[in-house]
Structure 1
Amino acid sequence: MIEPRALLHRAPWGRAIPLVLVPLMLAASSFPGQYQVPIWYWLAGLAAAAVFLIGDRAPLATSIASSALAAVMFVGHAWGLAGLVPYLGAVGLAEAAMRVTERGRVVTATACWAVAVVTGLGTESYTDFWRTATAVEAVAAVGLPLLLGLYLRAQRELTQTYRLRAEEEAARARTAERTALARELHDLVAHHMASIVLRIGVARHVVADADPRVRGVLDDVHATASGALTDIRRLLAALRDPDLGQVALVEPDAIPAEIEAAAARTRAAGLTVDLAPLPDLTGLDAIGRLTLLRVVQESLTNAMKYADQAAAVTVRVTEGPDALVVDVTNRRRIAEGETTGDESRSGHGLVGMTERASLAGGTLAAGPDGTQWRVHAWLPAAGGVEGSAESEAGRPNRGTEDDR
């Protein structure tokens, strides 16, 4: 079902049609030496066509103005097609009845058009005013546009009701799916992860006197598993909440520690990480903070797989007027037989990061930049103004993105 109001939005030029038709109708009703449409009739007709242009913004005022101009033209009793020009007032009444919901305003517009119609019928000299045909003509001229407008308004409200109902059903379906996913995640992944954390903890006590390097590895695995379990619990809370934006998945104060931990794991793998101090992250909402953390973590994970260990991995998070810009760069490893170090590979890491950035309202691009591999993300602040010149300057190029 197409909403009537949407038809005018799809074809905004439709409101200018009367400005073309009215002069043609008036010109077609003029015959040199026999019948001339008066200049005042021309002015009233063109004014009525011009008023129609603002019908969508001020429907009541347009209807009243059209009715007043119609009353003036009805008195003239134009011949031929010119006699149809006053009925722009009927169109104005129909649109007012469709767009205006207050009953009093609709009654006002109807009364004004009724006065115009009765004025035209009362000034006719070639017929008797007090007759049944006059009453029928008046009721038809007023009632038909009124009923049409009310019908279109009812259709629009019905369409809106169906749309809201569909959105509610879709939201309920998404909630049900997320609840089912949270249940499976809790019963399977979280359970096994908790078991891993427990067993590693026992192993640390059993091999307390073992080589310090073994204890270091166990400590690192225990910390990593514990962090993963914490992330799973946060994700479970988010999945069970219908509104992800209200879930504090990662607190602002926890971001620096989490990023530093990711950098420490990368250094433990033999890479040098140049991590600049982070700016204030309180401007990001919960999803933005989680996205920032995951982008940095995934970028550093990819660096451990593909970066040249002889060069440093740089991590920069800079604060703009309404967004945070993340840049992670590293020198690409050149494998034996390669000359460019091309590491365009198929994978899900970059796809996931791009989807996260999109859900947070931002953008992400990743790919080779000379001898470097660069991940560039733009994440809007919670109160940022999108579309400003400054924010557009910080957005990455959304061109071809190489999966890594």
Structure 2
Amino acid sequence: MMIGVVGSSGVTRSAESLLGERMLPVRLAVLAAMAAGCLLLLGHEPSVFDWVLGMLAVAASGLGAYRPMSAALLTSGLLILGFEFGHTGPIVAKVAAGIALAELTARRGGWRSLVAAGVLGAAYLLHPVGGSAVMLYRAVVMALVPLLIGGLLRVAWARAEQSAREAAALEQRRDREIAAAREAERTAIARELHDLIAHHVSSTVLRVGVARHAVPDAPPALLEVLDDIHATGKQTLTDLRKLVTILRDPASNGESFLSPADLPEALAGAVERARRGGMAVTADLAEDVATADALRALTVLRLTQEGLANVAKHAGPDASAWLRIAVGAAGDLDFTLRDNGSPGQAPARQAGGVGLVGLRERVELLDGVFNAGPCGSGWQIQARLPQRIGAPA
């Protein structure tokens, strides 16, 4: 029977710890010390045989952690030897036999406990002390008390095990319900993304394409803007399809927002789009940034996209921005984006929108550090993404 069941009462936990295999050396040491005390203080001039018998009884009781039936029979046999050949009462053997019987009942129970109890009772009956009634009473009490104690322990442990199983089953059921609720929520979000947002974006892309061909003689600057809107819309649709696929099947390995090898190109594209919008962006991108794992690569890209969008929104399209992404010696990714916007825009950046909140959440999910705030006359975003041990590149 398993020892150490979670969720049992304090008394049961104490018994489990005492009878557990890990506590066997401590238990034997305590029993040996108690046996020595009994022989020295309670025994009447114990002989060498009494000492040897007592220590053997202590050692035999320790077998209960592995072979409880053998331990019970052996201690009862040592008790018989103590009755027959000892010079003083075999107190140690009596205690060891009672412990062994109780442990056998707690661990095994059934017919083994009854057989061991019968052998122990017979050991007392074979040693005539007083009348027949006294002998029978002593045999019954000394065999029945360990049997009852062991039975109580067995019932307590069985109930504790049942409680632990029920708690584990309840936890699994709750996990399944949570997973089902999350799946239903993801499916609903995916459906709305596909039926609502993707529909509007598709319509916008189509109309921009029509406009592009409807005004072939339009100024080059206007045509360039229309082409950029058309390309951005198509890329948005691609990302939406990926998002819908991932939401419907998170375990799917067939879709990924960004491959680490594509990170340099994606970062360059984000910078180029900001420049086409009129922003002066100075970019210092590490050549080995593609060595990041997929999650960190996506986070760095989102930091860049959201950061540049914030610069355009709050500092104006003609603002200047400095972007630096470096890979540290330990594999950490360091991100810095700074602009020259007006300090009067700082309160608006802190109070408006959830972009910075989302970026902070992304970084902290990867155990990174995120900081955003005024810097000189403008604004600065800094993040550090530590190397993820065991993460695939």
TM (normalized to structure 2)? 0.67
Deviations for 1:325-366, whole angstroms, at most 9, x for unmatched residues?
A: 241231563436x9xx7887134112212323344x432411
Q: For residues 131-150 of structure 1, what are the structure 2 equivalents within 5 Å? A: 140=148, 142-150=150-158
Aligned 8 A contact 1:318 1:326 in 2: yes
Indicate the residue corresponding to 1:396 in structure 2: none
Q: 1:335 to 1:161 in 2, by over 3 A?
A: closer
Indicate the residue corresponding to 2:123 in structure 1: 123
Q: For residues 235-384 of structure 1, what are the structure 2 equivalents within 5 Å? A: 235-243=243-251, 247-268=255-276, 269-279=278-288, 281=290, 284-285=293-294, 287-306=295-314, 312-318=321-327, 324-331=332-339, 333-335=341-343, 345-346=350-351, 347-359=353-365, 361-368=366-373, 371=376, 373-378=380-385, 380-381=387-388, 383-384=390-391
Aligned 8 A contact 1:121 1:129 in 2: no
- What displacement does 1:274 show? 1.2
Tell me which amino acid in the other structure corresponds to 1:353: L
Aligned 8 A contact 2:284 2:325 in 1: yes
- What displacement does 1:300 show? 2.5
Indicate the residue corresponding to 1:213 in structure 2: 221
Aligned 8 A contact 1:118 1:138 in 2: no
- What displacement does 1:134 show? 7.5
Aligned 8 A contact 2:275 2:281 in 1: yes
Q: Distance in 2 between matches of 1:91 and 1:252?
A: 60
Moved more, 376-385 or 14-23: 14-23
- What displacement does 1:281 show? 4.0
Q: 1:84 to 1:34 in 2, by over 3 A?
A: closer
Aligned 8 A contact 2:118 2:143 in 1: no
SS at match of 2:350: coil
Structure whose alpha-carbon radius of gyration is higher: 2
Aligned 8 A contact 2:267 2:301 in 1: yes
Deviations for 1:192-250, whole angstroms, at most 9, x for unmatched residues?
A: 01000111111111122111111111112222222222111111011111436774232
Q: Distance in 1 between matches of 2:368 and 2:360?
A: 7
SS at match of 2:181: helix
Tell me which amino acid in the other structure corresponds to 1:373: Q
Q: Distance in 2 between matches of 1:79 and 1:61?
A: 19
Q: 1:267 to 1:283 in 2, by over 3 A?
A: closer
Q: How many residues align?
A: 354
Q: Distance in 2 between matches of 1:266 and 1:66?
A: 81
Indicate the residue corresponding to 2:86 in structure 1: none
Q: 1:228 to 1:43 in 2, by over 3 A?
A: farther
- What displacement does 1:320 show? 6.1
Q: Distance in 1 between matches of 2:261 and 2:309?
A: 23
Aligned 8 A contact 1:93 1:149 in 2: no
Q: For residues 15-164 of structure 1, what are the structure 2 equivalents within 5 Å? A: 15=17, 26=34, 62-64=65-67, 68=71, 72=75, 75=79, 83=95, 87=99, 90=102, 94=106, 120-124=120-124, 125=127, 126=129, 127-128=135-136, 140=148, 142-164=150-172
Aligned 8 A contact 1:68 1:116 in 2: no
Q: 1:315 to 1:156 in 2, by over 3 A?
A: same
Aligned 8 A contact 2:7 2:163 in 1: no
Aligned 8 A contact 1:325 1:379 in 2: yes
- What displacement does 1:46 show? 9.1
Q: Distance in 2 between matches of 1:201 and 1:146?
A: 79
Deviations for 1:103-140, whole angstroms, at most 9, x for unmatched residues?
A: xxx68xx8987787566444333534998778755754
Q: Distance in 1 between matches of 2:204 and 2:123?
A: 95
Q: Distance in 1 between matches of 2:75 and 2:313?
A: 83
Q: Which of 232, 236, 239 pairs up with 1:231? A: 239
Tell me which amino acid in the other structure corresponds to 1:327: F
SS at match of 2:280: coil
SS at match of 1:226: helix
- What displacement does 1:384 show? 4.2
- What displacement does 1:254 show? 3.4
- What displacement does 1:189 show? 0.5
Q: 1:248 to 1:142 in 2, by over 3 A?
A: same
Q: 1:161 to 1:281 in 2, by over 3 A?
A: farther
TM (normalized to structure 1)? 0.66
% identity of equivalent residues: 26
Give structure 1 stretches of 5+ with no counterpart: 52-59, 98-105, 386-404
Q: Distance in 2 between matches of 1:128 and 1:246?
A: 79
Q: Distance in 1 between matches of 2:321 and 2:70?
A: 77
In terms of fraction of residues, the more helix-rich structure is 2
Q: Which of 179, 189, 201 pairs up with 1:193? A: 201
- What displacement does 1:155 show? 2.6
SS at match of 2:260: coil
Q: 1:233 to 1:370 in 2, by over 3 A?
A: same
Aligned-residue Cα RMSD (Å) equals: 5.1
